[in-house]
Amino acid sequence: MPGETQLPASVSVRPARRIGRGGRGAALAWGGAIAIALIAPHLFASGFGLSLLCRMAIAIVFALSFNMLLGQGGMLDFGHAVFFGLGGFATMHLLKLVDGGLALPVVLLPLAGALGGALAALPAGWLATRREGTSFAMITLGIAELAVALVVMIPQWFGGEEGVSGDRSGGVALFGFDFGSAVQIYYVLAAWALLAAALMWGVTRTPLGRLANAVRDNPLRVDFLGYDPARIRFLTFLLAGLFAGVAGGMQALNDEIMTVSNIGSAASGAVLLMTYIGGVGTFSGPVIGAVLVTLLQVALGTVTDAWQLYSGLIFVAMVLWAPGGISGIVQSHAPILRAGRGARLLGPYLALLPAVGLTLAGTVGLAELAYRLQAVRGGARAGRLFGLAVAPTDPWQWLLPLALFVLGAWLLSRLAPPARAAWQEAAAQAARGVS
């Protein structure tokens, strides 16, 4: 019957999007990534800067491994930190052996993470990948709880409350490098991040990678094309666990300690946040998300104690208004810019700015008041906000941010539709201009 199609409407109404074939653009992107990895430590040479870069390198690998499941394979894993954490513990134990005299270069230790992550993913994936969609997500949630319980129950392996710690400079020095210094460990982690990212990118261009996309889109049809969708999910899950384990191994080298918190739901939530904010639809999305969210956590953390509130708000806002993440926003504007129609969007987009500013100011005011209300009740001092003394128990102080928020939101509700219409028109024109 006409119209009787199971394709989601949101897909079919979009202008025909051309799907890139890689090639020169990809080579350029990889060259750029290597260049950035080499130059970055010179631009951010402080101890703080280097530790930030190390955290980014770890987050990039972790988020990319998460997106093998979510973006590439359509699997929402609520317990991805299990493989990260167990990979980290495996690395930590090997590091202690190296400290004890085992002749193994410290550089290679994330391989133990890969093994640990993959081994943990074996039983977990065997259970979870029999199902798809919500059932899959539920099973991973259960596995995550189970893993945390096991880690707490076996202090001999996981060190109980204190975790397991080691010394990365305790091994045999390789060519005079002992990896004790911040810049040396940065280059080790950057090299691992580039290698792991390249391998994961490679997987997207293999038969299994393509089959994972197919299972994400339509598992039923895959079954009728000679492949068992559960088996494809399982293999993808193993690889994602392996690379999460590499990230965990990098973390172990960087922090020289692993604790139960590295396995828990907060860590799993963080990687979901990063990946989603960056965008699950492209390979580069999780990289963008990992860099930005790591930066945001640190930057917001220095400015406000309520930073978790903000990352939660940002996540909700992205899910609601930009489900494709940052890379999705870039992707939906790239053809318009290439067709030279970007200037037409400038007006409507600039008109949004004051409204966005008002809404943000109101949101920040409300968030800070809410956070400090709790702090004041706990006996802390409210402190100052934007140079003003804050008294969250005074109802009048809530009025101004509330008014800003309502005004901004109202303006946005009026200005967003024309901006959206301008974007849709420009996108349609760009699509027509190309084909």
Question: How buried is 344 (Cβ within 10 angstroms: 0-12 exposed, 13-18 middle, 19+ buried)?
Answer: middle
Q: Is 183 in the site for another protein (CB under 8 A)?
A: no
Instruction: Output 217 or 394, the one with its CB closest to another protein.
Output: 217
| Binding window for another protein (CB under 8 A); candidates: 105-113, 205-213, 342-350, 367-375 | 205-213
How many residues interact with another protein (rule CB under 8 A)?
44
Site membership for another protein, residue 222 (CB under 8 A): yes
Question: HSE of 274 in the Cβ direction (CA atoms, 13 Å)?
Answer: 33
Based on the shown chain and the rule CB under 8 A, indicate whether residue 211 belongs to the binding site for another protein: yes
Q: What is the smallest separation between the CB atom of 403 and another protein, expressed in angstroms?
A: 43
Q: Can you tell me which of 85, 209, 279, 392 binds another protein, judged by CB under 8 A?
A: 209
Decide: is 309 part of the binding site for another protein (CB under 8 A): no
Question: What H or E segment, with its residue span, contains residue 275?
Answer: helix 265-278
Residue choice 223, 316, 340, 346 for contact with another protein (CB under 8 A): 223
Distance in angstroms between the alpha carbons of the first and the last residue of the chain: 29
CA atoms lying within 13 Å on the CB side of residue 325: 24
64, 90, 232, 290: residue in contact with another protein (rule CB under 8 A): 232
Q: Residue 26, interface with another protein (CB under 8 A)?
A: no
Q: Do 345 and 422 contact (CB within 8 A), yes or no? A: yes
By beta-carbon proximity to another protein, the closer residue of 18 and 381 is 18
DSSP notation for 339-404: TT-THHHHHHHHHHHHHHHHHHHHHHHHHHHHHHHHHHHTT----EETTEE--TT-HHHHHHHHHH
Contact 236, 73 (CB under 8 A): yes
CA distances in angstroms from 135 to 80, 132, 218, 401, listed in the order given = 16, 6, 16, 42
- Cβ partners under 8 Å of residue 227, min gap 6: 211
Q: Is position 1 an interface residue for another protein (rule: CB under 8 A)?
A: yes
H helix or E strand, kind and range, residue 258: strand 257-258
Name the segment binding another protein (CB under 8 A); options: 6-14, 83-91, 162-170, 338-346: 6-14
Q: Does residue 221 interact with another protein by CB under 8 A?
A: yes
246 touches another protein (CB under 8 A): no
Looking up tokens 């009025």 gives 399
Residue 203 engages another protein in binding (rule: CB under 8 A): yes
208 makes contact with another protein (CB under 8 A)? yes
Q: Each residue of 264-277: b (16+ CB within 10 Å) or e?
A: bbebbbbbbbbbbb
Three-state secondary structure of 199-216: HHHHHHCCHHHHHHHHHH
Q: Is 217 in the site for another protein (CB under 8 A)?
A: yes
Among 97, 127, 138, 235, indicate the residue that binds another protein (CB under 8 A): 235
| 175 versus 224: smaller Cβ distance to another protein | 224
213, 308, 424, 429: which one binds another protein (CB under 8 A): 213
210 binds another protein (CB under 8 A): yes
Query: Residues 149, 195, 198, 225: which binds another protein (CB under 8 A)?
Result: 225
The distance of closest approach from Cβ of residue 236 to another protein in the complex, given in angstroms and rounded to an integer, is 9
Q: Which residues bind another protein (CB under 8 A)?
A: 1-8, 11-12, 14-19, 21, 202-203, 205-211, 213-214, 216-218, 220-228, 231-232, 235, 239
